[in-house]
Amino acid sequence: MQVGGAVITEQGITFAVVVVKRHVIQSSHAASEAIASFRGLFPGMPVVLMAQDSRDVPTYYGRNDIVRFLASMPMEAIPWQRYTVH
């Protein structure tokens, strides 16, 4: 399975952003499970989830300081890549 994501380093913190479906971040239980499942793909990094609404407006879920940073950043500035989940 492949997922969209990015690894970003900002102010000395390296973290991952992973694209998920909107319903995942609408449930704190599902979001926590998703974050846990992606930790193996991004070891040692905080993982933040991102979902878009029907107008492509992003919503982030995860560590508050990283969520605030990402919310202020244009999505086009995020270095998106494809990652393979085993």
- Give yes or no for residue 86 having a pLDDT over 90: no
Report the pLDDT averaged over residues 11-36: 96
Helix (H, G, I), strand (E, B) or coil at 30: helix
- Give the number of domains in the chain: 1
Beta bridge partners of 60: 50
Domain that holds residue 58: 2-84
The tokens describing 5, both together, are 């994501």
CATH no. for residue 7? 3.40.1350
Q: Which of 67, 86, 80, 85 is nearest to 4 (CA)?
A: 80
The whole-model pTM stands at 0.94
Q: What is the pLDDT of residues 28-84, one digit of tens each?
A: 999 999 999 999 999 999 999 999 999 999 999 999 999 999 999 999 999 999 999
Residue 47, burial from CB neighbour count under 10 angstroms (0-12, 13-18, 19+): buried
